[in-house]
Amino acid sequence: MKSNFDKSLRLVLAHEGGYVDHPRDPGGATNLGITFAVLQKWRGKAITKADVKALTRDEAGAIYRAKYWDLVRGDDLPSGLDYAVFDFAVNSGPSRAAIYLQEIVGVAPDGKIGPLTVGAAKAADTRKTIDALCSKRMTFLKKLSTFATFGRGWTSRVAGVRTAALAMVGSAPAAPKQQTSTPSRSLFDIIAAILSAVFKR
């Protein structure tokens, strides 16, 4: 089974950067894109900003896989779309990313990606789905009250996601061709071939 998780995680971390604690960021103290609240819930105990600052890439990767990638069924989505949905989930929440994808592929939007959504996504044109998802994502971001502060970065990020996701579609390995087995020759065919050979002598 294919998995673009490692590649997608590297791209996400390139956008997220290191430790920040911007006063206008509702997520508060954040490191490698993991907010204070997310890390505290993950560890199941009270933490401090120092804990956020000391967050390792390995632990962040484990959180990203369990709380974002797996929730949006990254391993089951088409290559390229998996990354686009994953990055959206990281930036704006798995439920919102799922709803937007479901609206695009024509599945009842319940915020949970299941077999129906995966099937519809696979049946759709992946490039068009990525384009539509990134456009809807930008529409959502532009409506946020914090767009004036973070809009430039978000716009650059979504543009980068669109480009990288589309490139991943193009580099995805082709599905292996079904081998068509040569039908076995019937006894009648074998006998006919033998007789033909005999009479040609």
pLDDT tens column, 61-93: 999 999 999 999 999 999 999 999 999 999 999
Partners of 20 in beta bridges: 30
pLDDT grade, residue 176 (50/70/90)?
very low
The CA distance from 117 to 120, in Å, is 5
CA-based nearest residue to 75, from 21, 46, 83, 41: 83
Instruction: Give the per-residue pLDDT at 26.
Output: 78
Give the chain's end-to-end CA distance (angstroms, integer): 56
Q: What residue type is 91 in one-letter code?
A: N
Enter the pTM of the model.
0.81
Burial 118-135 (b: 16+ CB within 10 A, else e): bebbeebebeebbbbbbe
Q: What is the largest CA-CA distance in the chain?
A: 96
CA-based nearest residue to 52, from 21, 73, 31, 83: 31
**CATH class given for the domain over 5-173:** mainly alpha
Instruction: Give the per-residue pLDDT at 196.
Output: 47
pLDDT exceeds cutoff 90 at 3:
no
Length of the chain: 201
Domain ranges of the chain: 5-173
Instruction: Give the per-residue pLDDT at 193.
Output: 52
